[in-house]
Structure 1
Amino acid sequence: MINLLRRLFADRRGLSSIVFAGSSMVLFGFGTMAVDVGSFYYQQRRQQTATDLAALAAAADLARADAAARASAGRNGYTAAAVERVQLGTYTADATLAPEMRFQPSSAAVANAARIEMRATTPMILGRVLAAGGLGNEAGDVTILTRATAAQDMQASFAIGSRLVRVEGGALNGLLGGLLGTSLSLSVMDYEGLARARIDLFGFARRLATRASISALTFDEVVRAQVRIGDVILAAQDAARDQGAGSDAVAALGHLATTLAGSSQRLNLQSLVSFGIYGGRQLSEEVPLKASLSALDLVSAAAQIANGARQLDLGLAVNVPGLASVSLKLGIGERPVGTSMVRVGRTGATVHTAQTRLLLTLTLVGSGHASLVKLPLYLELASATARLTAISCGAGDITSARVTLGVTPAVVDAWIGEVSNAEFSNFSTRPNPPAATLLNLLGLAKVTGRAHVTISNTSETPVSFSYAEIQRVEKKTTSTQNFVASLLSRLVGDLELRVELLGLGLPIPGLDGAVSGVIAGAAAPLDQVLTSLLNTLGIGLGQADSWVSGVRCGGAVLIL
């Protein structure tokens, strides 16, 4: 018996078969795992894609979110029952919030997003025999649960800017000509034509790329490029002609282009327009909404951007009783960094006006010792802001669209005081001017005066635009009161006069009262001049003009 056992253990025949049989089971196990795990991840990716598409469909049609999600699942190979949950909520695009906190369940009335959960099973291929080991259910299937959240991707193009629609006393020719470094002689009809003509900025960017020979592929690359001011005007003329503008506007742009043919001024248009998510699109691609400006707004904005000195001195011809002369110094600052006049964006996007300074020096006609009184009126306007606060769209009906902006007019500082050229040109600080010399009787006395008034309207005012108003690109003015009259009356009321004796030091009785009387008597003509000038420059004290030129409904974007 012992010998038999020794011979059995010593016999190596068939050992390889035993090892192979054992190894085959191990290899089968690994093969089963590889095939089934690969199949599981494939099915999970497939189901996640279907869930993403269902979320996008639900967010794009929130009124029918449940039906839209189930229909989408059906189109992508899943039953309607696979959609286990459809939850509506509000999504807040705020980077300061944790990602999981940006979506909050809400009622359908205020919802702008949808969260979808899908549950389905996928069968094991080779691992059914192992199902009893706990890797699947009794049928050898594995349950897959996927989630996706999408928000409505409604967008609008909106703007805040000037109202350069009037020409009085040649001030607008002087203003634009000074900013452009040339002399202009456009007529009232020319300006009216430019104000009526609408220019789509996407079409304008395509034309500018051709005119300026920019090797750009996208809209953003065009606005980042340095181009000559003459090419900007020619591109505006091309775009105006493309969009069927009136012949008066096309001719006026041609006249401007000819006048600027030799100009070396260069600029980029990043502070004019921000194309948002469409900025990265190819120039040959179509864009689903319009972002437009009047030709006059476009020319004015380009002139301001091109004016590197940002300071302009004008002598204004006036024929107003009580006024001997009027001169204007205008300074235009930068818009806040990273902002523009026109923007395409989602809720939360903003646009800003440029900071503006005016120094209006008036010579008032009096009598006696106060026959000529100089009155320097300094105005500083901070940036006004318009924020896109809401877009509402009825399902499948673009004509029901409504866009709401939150508009904050600029804070205005007004002074009667002596502002130096250095202070006027330095936009990094706010001037705090000392008293100005209003009257100087050489060798006898001088009268100085100082006044300061601040007009603050910092609360955001909602301004709503219907689809019809968007189609007309209707401008709306946000204001709480008429600041021109109140500004002048408050300045005159706040004016502190001081008489200084010079030379012989002989007193001149009633000199301060005489100066005060001249200024008070000139209040009405000052109102007239200031109102006319501000209208011509497109500046509103405590006011902001805003408009919406395009809206896109029905889109959606994945967020989680």
Structure 2
Amino acid sequence: MKTRGVIRNEDGGVTIVTAAMAGLFCIVAAVAIDLGSVSLKARQVQGAADLSAMAAAHDLTRADLAARATAQANLTDVQTVNVQKGAYVADPRLAPANRFSPGAATPNAARVQITAPAPLFFGRWILRRETVPVSRTATAAIPSGKPQAMFSIGTRLASVDGGLANALLSGLLGSNVSLTVMDYRNLAGAQVNLLSFSDALATDLGLAAGDYDALLNQEITAGRALKVLEAVAGSDAKSVLSKLTRAPVDAKLKLSELIGVDALSRKGLREALNVDVSAMDMVMATLETANKNRQLAVDAGVRTGIADLDVMVAIGERPNNSAWLTVTDKGEPIIRTTQTRIYLKVTTAQALSGLAQVKLPILVEAAASEAKLARINCDASKTVTLAVRPGVARAQIGVIDETKLKDFKTELVASRATVLNVLSLVKLTAGADLKVSDENWTETAFNKVDIDQKKVKSVQSRGFVNGLIVSLLTRLDADVELGPLAIGLGGLVKALGVLLTPLGPVLDGVVQPLLDLLGVKLGEADVQVLAIQCPSDGHTPKLVG
């Protein structure tokens, strides 16, 4: 009998335990519901804080208003919104909590803390309140980086002498070129996107998309570069470029010889390359870079007052591995024009005093002009200031060693020329030397309008004289030798001056267009700012913890 009683007592114990566990489960369920409610609200508050921080960082001048508006748009029951502007440094050596410094003089980030109530369902009987406050914090920063600019040196004229241009291009391409003046105008007016060109060239070379380091260091033929340029050019330029790509051009170059990029600017290179340049500039810069240290014979044609005119052009390298254009955020690298020499051998159509035709050798040398970044102003004006120094321009009347014309490491020495020799009885020798230089850097500024319009600005040497050959002829120093006797300046020398004076403008009309096509000017430097990038331009703020 006692044993049966014990069994009955055990059955009652299970019931009690079951009832107790059911009550505990109800309490746990109630707590879980309240915790879920708080957790859900916390996620909502964190999302609002993230969006508010990004809005504040995007508009730091009105960070407080931007954050509050965004918070209220995403949470209807916001209690508090606290905003701090500051500087964020993505330095892995610092603890995450120490990377944001509030109150910095130049803020690039915003930290936002939002508080909102989370409802309680069962906990209100325990805590005697219907809600608990939930606070969350988010920090957003503009991607770090310095302002940078893309600029170029040496531009080509929109209007060119078709004959001289064809003669020069024929020499550079190694095949006969016959373009019209309208063709050249189409080339000069057409714009080519550097990013499209670079991506198309990478595809053509089988390189990985976006690997610009590899692309910049890849050696290619000028002909291959021109074919890719033809593929991405507009219709007007495409038809002209097709005439230039018919013959193979085997001279080689690296893309880095055209586009210079300092190491710190490579990270954002894709954005930097998204600019347009003149197709004419691109063609000539490509050809002259590939043909560095070459000597070309240029047929200048028969010109008024000249029986014969031989023109030789030597194209040198840009000094110190300079590029045609660059992307940089500092004063290095310096970009430079090509070194150029032109040697003219002129035979006059008219005889001097009935004796003989005059033969006049003229050497024109244009040292590299230079440009570098002086500063960038990223305020509302968006201004880029370049420091520019025109290269040394020198013209001489005299005889040179023509085999050294393309050797730019050797200084050419022009000796007095015998411009007239009649049976060794009457000999007239002449020489002249004109040098224009400016050792100082001159600053020139480009505002946003200038940059958007791709305005070209010329910086002129303070000692520049318009009409180099005209000015050179005014310095002519001549002597007459009659048999063994030397006679000073006399009637024959005056007659020489009268004969040569009209040739000055004619020869300037040959020299300057050739230099223009090569992007070189005597005693001047043409510069152009193609783009400016400020850290906040086109950059979406990022959450940084």
Superposed pair shares fold, TM > 0.5? yes
Matched residue, 1:238: 231
Rounded Cα–Cα distance in structure 1 between residues aligned with 2:510 and 2:169 = 19
Does 1:391 pair with 2:376?
A: yes
Letter in structure 2 aligned against 1:258? R
Q: How many pairs are equivalent?
A: 427
Indicate conservation of the 8 Å contact 2:172/2:287, yes or no: yes
Rounded Cα–Cα distance in structure 2 between residues aligned with 1:483 and 1:308 = 27
- After TM superposition, list the pairs within 5 Å mapping 1:482-521 onto structure 2: 483=464, 485=466, 487-501=468-482, 510-521=491-502
Indicate conservation of the 8 Å contact 1:289/1:550, yes or no: no
Indicate conservation of the 8 Å contact 1:478/1:543, yes or no: yes
Give the Å deviation of 1:487: 3.3
Rounded Cα–Cα distance in structure 2 between residues aligned with 1:373 and 1:63 = 77
Match of 2:243 among 229, 234, 255: 255
Does 1:437 pair with 2:437?
A: no
Matched residue, 1:402: 383
Does 1:181 pair with 2:174?
A: yes
Rounded Cα–Cα distance in structure 2 between residues aligned with 1:337 and 1:210 = 30
Could you tell me the TM-score, scaled by structure 2's length? 0.69
- After TM superposition, list the pairs within 5 Å mapping 1:151-300 onto structure 2: 153-168=146-161, 170-214=163-207, 218-240=211-233, 245=234, 247-260=235-248, 263-277=249-263, 286-287=270-271, 290-300=274-284
Q: Deviations over 1:230-289 (max 9, x none)?
A: 21011112232xxxx3x22011112212233xx43332222211133487569xx94256
Matched residue, 2:406: 425
Q: Relative to 1, partners in 2 of residues 1:309 and 1:462: Cα closer, same or farther, differing over 3 Å? A: closer
Indicate conservation of the 8 Å contact 1:158/1:291, yes or no: no
Q: Relative to 1, partners in 2 of residues 1:405 and 1:515: Cα closer, same or farther, differing over 3 Å? A: same
Matched residue, 1:375: 360
Q: Relative to 1, partners in 2 of residues 1:518 and 1:61: Cα closer, same or farther, differing over 3 Å? A: farther
Letter in structure 2 aligned against 1:543? E
Secondary structure of the corresponding residue to residue 299 of structure 2: strand
Q: Which is higher, the Rg of structure 1 or of structure 2?
A: 2
Q: Relative to 1, partners in 2 of residues 1:61 and 1:273: Cα closer, same or farther, differing over 3 Å? A: farther
Rounded Cα–Cα distance in structure 2 between residues aligned with 1:326 and 1:485 = 22
Letter in structure 2 aligned against 1:238? A
Matched residue, 1:46: none
Give the Å deviation of 1:500: 3.4
Does 1:416 pair with 2:416?
A: no
Matched residue, 1:304: 288
Rounded Cα–Cα distance in structure 1 between residues aligned with 2:395 and 2:61 = 50
Indicate conservation of the 8 Å contact 2:144/2:535, yes or no: no
Indicate conservation of the 8 Å contact 1:333/1:354, yes or no: yes
Give the Å deviation of 1:388: 0.8
Does 1:68 pair with 2:49?
A: no
Indicate conservation of the 8 Å contact 2:168/2:514, yes or no: no
Does 1:330 pair with 2:318?
A: no
Q: Relative to 1, partners in 2 of residues 1:370 and 1:392: Cα closer, same or farther, differing over 3 Å? A: farther
Does 1:478 pair with 2:478?
A: no
Rounded Cα–Cα distance in structure 2 between residues aligned with 1:376 and 1:62 = 66
Q: After alignment, is 265-274 or 520-529 more displaced? A: 520-529
Give the Å deviation of 1:340: 0.6
Q: Relative to 1, partners in 2 of residues 1:437 and 1:162: Cα closer, same or farther, differing over 3 Å? A: farther
Q: Relative to 1, partners in 2 of residues 1:550 and 1:506: Cα closer, same or farther, differing over 3 Å? A: closer
Give the Å deviation of 1:213: 3.7
Q: Deviations over 1:367-401 (max 9, x none)?
A: 4345421222211111111111111112xx6xx31
Matched residue, 1:30: none
Rounded Cα–Cα distance in structure 1 between residues aligned with 2:89 and 2:219 = 47
Could you tell me the TM-score, scaled by structure 1's length? 0.67
Q: Relative to 1, partners in 2 of residues 1:77 and 1:459: Cα closer, same or farther, differing over 3 Å? A: closer
Give the Å deviation of 1:343: 0.3
